[in-house]
């Protein structure tokens, strides 16, 4: 904690009231809060509890200068916050919660919170929020959501076109739709995102995952490989014989930091890892399941869809035929697939070997090497469906050109 953020000086510690009170919903959050406020027990008290705990602390005469209030276990966050504001009008409140919801964010700010951080958060981001409140700076920009969207691309099978979809969506969001976009390849050994864009994988992802406490805005600026003004990539090419070192919570912390800087964070996830990614899944806003029209593709689309519905309950799920896994005569027709799947596919990429080959050979996105090809058009549809018409920079031309192809329910 920097000097600028300290509320009490050593000389006034002895009899001073608690200056920062942290009410954490669980021990893990308490730990993060403790790291954020530093080691000074004299000025900070962090306990596991609820809004009731905060109120009972106030009754003991301990209304703090700053209250860190974890509302994630609260049945009615707004009501709890309102009661606390009424009981301690001088206290600055930094609310914390699990819901990444702009509506809730605005309501909490209007009800009197100074800031709202969405879990998972890092000690550094909480520390920065405390500093901002302590300095009476207004940390809140009500005009835009604080965290970017987090989109997971996962294939039901190998080679169905997952990376092609992820890379092209990210590139189009950045280049044609004006969105600040981060693209992360979590296949640390065999990922092909960097190869698809003909860039060096760099060491940034490896360093971030090994030492997540180093991750901050500066680290990200240095570690990411830039592709144009708005697209930045994190990937790796770990030696085949070496196990990748991933510290606990590292992926969660990295993605959270990225979401603070980028409008979109696109993750290409090897499906073998999905079962271990609880924290990631709980925070994604969208998931694209890329599949193929085969029995195995159908079976695993059903399984992944069911799994994501239970683990990523708040996320919008899209199921996409990636095109790459389509034999000239598909063993399962689209109608059969959709009947078995129980609903329509959200997108279908055409099998477009010419465009795919041109892109792979040049290490460039489809929109660059084969801009008018069916595969590039499908990639544009998908990117526009993610961004939505309201966020399209080229609203008048691009949006009108593609709007008719976009399923309405794909908008976030």
Ligand X SMILES: Nc1ncnc2c1ncn2[C@@H]1O[C@H](COP(=O)(O)OP(=O)(O)OP(=O)(O)O)[C@@H](O)[C@H]1O
Residue 242 Cβ, how far from Mg ion at the closest point, in Å? 20
HSE on the CB side for 12, CA within 13 Å? 8
Alpha-carbon span 343 to 327, nearest angstrom: 22
Site string for ligand X, 174-193 (x = CB under 6 A): ------------------x-
How far apart are the C-alpha atoms of 317 and 336, rounded to whole Å?
A: 20
DSSP code, position 74: -
Tell how many helices (H) and how many strands (E) occur in the chain.
17, 13
Select from 323, 373, 381, 384 the one that contacts ligand X (CB under 6 A). Answer: 323
Contact between 204 and ligand X (CB under 6 A)? no
The residues in 141-160 that bind ligand X, with binding defined as CB under 6 A, are 155, 158-160
**Alpha-carbon distance 267 to 277, whole Å?**
12
Tokens of 178: 């004006």
Q: How far is the CB of 159 from Mg ion (least distance, A)?
A: 8
User: Quick one: CA torsion of 95, 100, 103, 104, rounded to 10 degrees?
Assistant: -30
Select the residue whose beta carbon is closest to ligand X and give its number: 323
Residues 83 and 55: beta-carbon distance below 8 Å: yes
Instruction: Measure the CA–CA gap between 169 and 197, rounded to whole angstroms.
Output: 13
Q: Which of 29, 163, 179, 285 binds Mg ion (CB under 5 A)?
A: 163
Q: Which stretch binds ligand X (CB under 6 A): 213-221, 224-232, 274-282, 353-361?
A: 353-361
By the rule CB under 6 A, 202 interacts with ligand X: no
Does residue 168 belong to the site contacting ligand X (CB under 6 A)? no
Q: Which of 131, 360, 368, 403 binds ligand X (CB under 6 A)?
A: 360
**324 scored as a contact of ligand X (CB under 6 A):** yes
Q: What string marks each residue from 361 to 390 as x (binds ligand X by CB under 6 A) or -?
A: --------------x---------------
Task: State the binding partner of 356 from Mg ion, ligand X, none, CB within 5 to 8 A by kind.
Answer: ligand X
> What are the DSSP calls for 114-159, one per residue?
SEEEESS--HHHHHHHHHHHHTT-----TTS-SS-EEEEEEESSTT
Q: Which residues partner with 44 through β-bridges?
A: 20
Q: Per residue in 54-85, is it b (16+ CB within 10 Å) or e — as a string?
A: bbebbeeeebbbbbbbbbbbbeebbebbbebb
Region near Mg ion per CB under 5 A, out of 39-47, 162-170, 172-180, 205-213: 162-170
Task: Evaluate whether 112 touches 139 at the Cβ level (below 8 Å).
Answer: no
Instruction: Pick between residue 310 and residue 372 the one whose CB is nearest to ligand X.
Output: 372
Q: Which is nearer to ligand X, 161 or 212 (CB)?
A: 161
When the beta carbons of 126 and 280 are compared against ligand X, the nearer one is 280
Is there binding between residue 353 and ligand X (CB under 6 A)? yes
Residues making contact with ligand X (CB under 6 A): 155, 158-164, 192, 322-324, 349, 351-353, 356, 360, 375
Q: Which residues bind Mg ion (CB under 5 A)?
A: 162-163
């Amino acid at each position: 904690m920097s000097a600028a953020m300290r509320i009490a000086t050593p000389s006034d510690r002895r009899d001073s009231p608690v200056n920062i009170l942290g009410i954490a919903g669980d021990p893990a959050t308490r730990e993060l809060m403790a790291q954020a406020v530093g080691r000074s027990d004299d000025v900070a008290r962090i306990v596991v509890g609820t809004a009731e705990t905060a109120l009972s602390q106030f009754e003991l005469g301990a209304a703090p200068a700053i209250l860190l209030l974890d509302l994630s276990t609260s049945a009615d966050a707004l009501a709890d916050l309102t009661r606390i504001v009424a009981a301690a009008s001088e206290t600055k409140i930094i609310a914390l919660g699990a819901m990444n919801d702009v509506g809730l964010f605005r309501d909490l700010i209007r009800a009197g919170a100074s800031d709202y951080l969405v879990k998972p958060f890092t000690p550094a981001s909480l520390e920065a929020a405390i500093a901002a409140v302590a300095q009476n700076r207004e940390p809140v920009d009500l005009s835009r959501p604080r965290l970017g969207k987090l989109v997971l691309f996962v294939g039901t099978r190998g080679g169905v076109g997952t990376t092609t979809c992820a890379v092209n969506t990210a590139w189009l969001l950045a280049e044609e739709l004006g969105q600040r976009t981060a693209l992360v390849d979590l296949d640390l050994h065999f990922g092909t995102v960097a190869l698809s864009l003909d860039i060096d994988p760099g060491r940034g992802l490896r360093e971030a995952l090994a030492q997540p406490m180093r991750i901050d805005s500066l680290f990200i600026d240095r570690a990411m490989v830039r592709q144009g003004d708005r697209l930045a990539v994190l990937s790796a090419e770990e030696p085949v014989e070496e196990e990748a070192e991933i510290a606990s919570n590292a992926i969660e912390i990295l993605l959270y930091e990225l979401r603070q800087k980028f409008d979109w964070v696109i993750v290409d996830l090897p499906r073998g890892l999905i079962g271990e990614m609880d924290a990631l899944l709980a925070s994604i806003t969208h998931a694209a399941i890329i599949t193929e029209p085969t029995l195995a593709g159908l079976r695993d689309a059903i399984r992944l869809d069911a799994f994501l519905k239970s683990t990523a309950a708040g996320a919008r799920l899209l199921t996409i035929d990636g095109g790459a896994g389509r034999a000239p005569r598909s063993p399962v027709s689209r109608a059969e697939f959709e009947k078995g799947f129980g609903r329509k596919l959200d997108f279908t990429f055409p099998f477009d070997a010419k465009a795919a080959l041109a892109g792979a050979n040049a290490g460039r996105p489809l929109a660059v090497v084969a801009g008018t090809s069916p595969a590039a058009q499908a990639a544009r549809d998908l990117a526009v469906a993610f961004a939505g018409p309201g966020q399209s920079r080229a609203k008048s031309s691009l949006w009108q050109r593609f709007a008719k192809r976009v399923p309405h329910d794909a908008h976030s």
